[in-house]
Amino acid sequence: MVVCHRFEACDGLLYRSANRQFRQRGSRTTITASVDLKPPPYPLNALEPHMSKETLDYHWGKHHRTYVENLNKQIVGTELDGMILEDIILATYNKGVFLPPFNNAAQVWNHEFFWESMKPDGGGKPSEELLELINKDFGSFEKFVNQFKLAASTQFGSGWAWLSPNAVNPLVWDYSHAYYLDFQNRRPDYITTFMEKLVSWEAVSSRLELAKARATEREMQEERRKREEEEGELAEKAVEMYVESNTDDSEAE
């Protein structure tokens, strides 16, 4: 891990030391960074009886909150202050050499993703388009579910389990220690409950649509870039031909 010292530039990102991370107001220290603790998109008791309010109080109200508070302490007064969460993650990923705020930022995003991946009366099967993609990549929905359960049940310790055909973009996430208050050491029961009673396929479908829109936007940007490069090359050739023509005319005279 790269630890950046005061005013040291790390891969283009200026990361100031802790003594610059607070703004003094009188005799009190005030944290001014503003990554928010985003609540789940439902009341804390809405997932009962499958996930209790006690679990949400503990894992959202304590663990998630702690990651947010620690992240704000790390970024206040730095160039990261004021960035959206996704940009903080991208900046501090630092090509795999994580900068200090990366873990807290990534965990904040992970928790938001997890809460949004569930809903009251969840489970069932996804929409037609998403189901077709799952069948294409995994063979069938049942095979997908079995692979997901295997990935989650064999995750060592606490962590995140997810499946993707290219090992990059997750379809569903399962937070492995969020179940403990309700299921104790019965992880397989929690995984089954998550898939059958909690997962929000609507949230997954909306992420799919967003990913498709972003992919289309990237393709359009790439096409514009190539077109601009080609136009620039044509303009350079036109200037070169004009200069050569003038030179030939001068020699003829």
pLDDT tens track for 95-140: 888 899 999 998 898 899 889 999 999 999 998 899 999 999 899 9
Which amino acid is present at 180?
Answer: Y
% of the chain residues with pLDDT over 70: 68
Least trusted range by pLDDT, from 98-107, 138-147, 173-182: 173-182
Is pLDDT above 90 for 12? Answer: no
Mean pLDDT of 57-86: 92
Is pLDDT above 90 for 70? Answer: yes
Choose among 160, 69, 152, 148: nearest CA to 111: 160
Strands 23-25 and 13-14: unpaired
Q: CA–CA separation, 83 vs 74, rounded Å?
A: 13
For residues 249 and 17, which has the higher predicted lDDT (pLDDT)?
Answer: 249
Structural domains present in the chain: 1-120 (1.10.287.990), 122-199 (3.55.40.20)
| Contact criterion met (CB below 8 Å) for 160 and 173 | yes
Mean pLDDT of 142-157: 81
Is pLDDT above 90 for 42? Answer: yes
Q: Give the per-residue pLDDT at 31.
A: 44
Is pLDDT above 50 for 84? Answer: yes
Is pLDDT above 70 for 181? Answer: no
DSSP track, the chain: -----TT-EETTEE---GGGS-EEETTEEE-------PPPSS-TTTTTTTS-HHHHHHIIIIIIHHHHHHHHHHHTTSTTTT--HHHHHHHHHGGGS--TTHHHHHHHHHHHHHHHTB-TT--S---HHHHHHHHHHHSSHHHHHHHHHHHHHT--SS-EEE--TTSSS-S-EEETTTTHHHHTT-HHHHHHHIIIIIB-HHHHHHHHHHHHHHHHHHHHHHHHHHHHHHHHHHHHHHHHHHHHHHHHHHHH-
Is pLDDT above 90 for 68? Answer: yes
For residues 227 and 45, which has the higher predicted lDDT (pLDDT)?
Answer: 45
DSSP track, 186-207: -HHHHHHHIIIIIB-HHHHHHH
Is pLDDT above 50 for 33? Answer: yes
